[in-house]
Amino acid sequence: MSEENNVKLELDDIQSGVLRPRPTPYVATYVAFRIDDRKAGRELMDRFSQVVTSAANPNGPLADTSVSVALTYQGLKALGVPQESLDSFAWEFRQGMTARAKELGDSGESDPENWEQPLGTPEVHVVLVAVSPDKDRLEVALDRARKTYQELPGIEAIWRQDCHALPDEKEPFGFRDGISHPAIEGSGIPGSNPREQPLKAGEFVLGYTDEMGGVQKTVPEILGRNGTYVVFRKLHQRVAEFRRFLKAQSNGPEGEELLAAKMMGRWRSGAPLALCPFHDDPELGADPSRNNDFLYEGDDSVGLKTPGGSHIRRTNPRDAAVAGFARIHRMIRRGTAYGPTLPEGVLEDDGADRGLMFAFVGANLGRQFEFVQSQWVNDGVFFGAGDDRDPIIGSGDINFTLPHRPVRKRLRGIPRFVVTRGGEYCFMPGLRALRWLADLDAGLEMKKR
Ligand code: N7H
């Protein structure tokens, strides 16, 4: 076994939201805070450090119920983190999501000017996420968290979003989500694709070696170690429009399902086209030991089964021949639906807001999240499809090519089905770092001496 394979992550210092898969089904609540008073902010960090759960102890009584806390760059500033330390964080994080709108394709309706307030403004300092298998246990977790910030003058809860993951893990478009996850060296948590070598821990947690051989460190080291970057995006989904599109482009329900599967790379059941290209196989879709056990290059380099432009092949080309090296663009995803389900068969928009609270977890905002969003989702050059874009989540002029013999099919002018309602770039510190933030005064005093 190589030295790297012996890497052990310090799970007791890593927030459970970073590594632990979420239970099924589950409910979740996001709460955003503004820090108006520096001292109160530090007190909040101290209190949060006592309710945040670590990734260790997966079998404890509260293992399924977790509270995680992340800070924006503005939040670190509001706590009075010294400039030298602030400067040691990733450039994209320091810019914030709003400043990165152009690169992320957040234009037109998705422009930050149209975002839900206060998302994307300098007001958002801290984001808390509570996750639990049911509402009762969520309330208990939220209650514990609430006690930490209520009656703390100078701390304002400014935004809240409730979300849920259904027992069948179906998101608003009707696809099973949450199937594909990378394995991470030293985490003890298995990945879902037996054909993917576990990724170096430094791809997901700061302070460890990554796939490029580097180790990310902050000033001081304790602030970043065992922490990670988290991207939250509230993504509205136009479900009625998606259904109407499938109907208009197909002859009957079977054709609709096949087109939906071609656009995603999986049938709505989760069954991958790579393993059952002609018909759905719901049993396969629900079987975690088989539903992610595939690669592309061996028998489908052209994309006759799984189109190169489909959502899952774009966002993780696996072994497919693309420009670049797929392993350095992997991510942990935690998507959770929000809003009411649009009843089956309804084709008219009911005006309700529904969609996905998308969450990315990874140590590299630039080459992981931003690269995938800008190069793989909103471009087709990397796999030889010119200006094609992701037909599910792309923005701008969306075209999609279905490789087919004797001639390929091209769908042009696909409507935009997903609109960004807001989001934040955050840093989710380790538990020791949370306490470091709480003790900032004392720490700085000691440094002066
Ligand atoms: Fe995507 N969906 O629910 O329809 N996604 N996604 N995603 N996505 C995946 O394989 C969806 C979004 C990735 O390893 C599945 O677990 C929706 C963004 C990646 O094979 C489904 C939205 C980004 C994968 C969805 C959305 C990604 C993936 C299949 C927005 C990154 C794994 C289930 C509203 C920038 C690919 C699964 C792999 C899979 C959906 C957004 C990335 C069903 C609705 C913004 C890396």
CA distances to 73, 96, 341 from 37, rounded to whole Å, are 16, 22, 40
Question: Which ligand 1 atom is nearest residue 376's CA?
Answer: 35
Distance 334 CA to ligand 1 centre (A): 10
Q: Ligand 1: does its nearest atom lie under 6 Å from the Cβ of 65?
A: no
Distance 80 CA to ligand 1 centre (A): 36
pLDDT at 445: 46
pLDDT at 60: 56
Among protein residues, the one with the nearest Cα to ligand 1's atom 42 is 315
Q: Does residue 343 have a cis peptide bond before it, meaning omega lies within 30 degrees of 0?
A: no
Name every residue whose Cβ is closer than 8 Å to that of residue 45 and which is 6 or more positions away in sequence. 79, 434, 435, 437, 438
CA distances to 145, 294, 310, 383 from 273, rounded to whole Å, are 43, 10, 10, 18
Quick: pLDDT tens for 385-410.
888 999 999 988 899 999 988 888 99
Comparing 167 with 128, the larger pLDDT belongs to 128
Beta bridge partners of 32: 127, 159
pLDDT at 129: 94
Is the model's pLDDT at 61 over the cut of 80?
A: no
- Amino acid found at 11: L
Residue 243 structure tokens: 């259904």
pLDDT band, very low/low/confident/very high, at 190 (cuts 50, 70, 90): confident
**Lowest mean pLDDT segment, chosen from 138-147, 149-158, 193-202, 425-434:** 138-147
Quick: pLDDT tens for 286-329.
999 999 999 999 999 999 999 999 999 999 999 988 777 889 99
Q: Ligand 1: does its nearest atom lie under 6 Å from the Cβ of 32?
A: no
Is the model's pLDDT at 101 over the cut of 90?
A: yes
pLDDT band, very low/low/confident/very high, at 51 (cuts 50, 70, 90): confident
Comparing 346 with 16, the larger pLDDT belongs to 346
pLDDT band, very low/low/confident/very high, at 444 (cuts 50, 70, 90): low
Mean pLDDT of 129-155: 88
pLDDT at 151: 82
DSSP state of 53: P
pLDDT band, very low/low/confident/very high, at 13 (cuts 50, 70, 90): very high
Q: Supply the mean pLDDT for the chain.
A: 92
Is the model's pLDDT at 426 over the cut of 50?
A: yes
Torsion of CA 360, 358, 422, 395, to 10 degrees: 100
State pTM to two decimals. Answer: 0.95
Q: Does residue 220 have a cis peptide bond before it, meaning omega lies within 30 degrees of 0?
A: yes
Mean pLDDT of 365-378: 95
Q: Ligand 1: does its nearest atom lie under 6 Å from the Cβ of 177?
A: yes
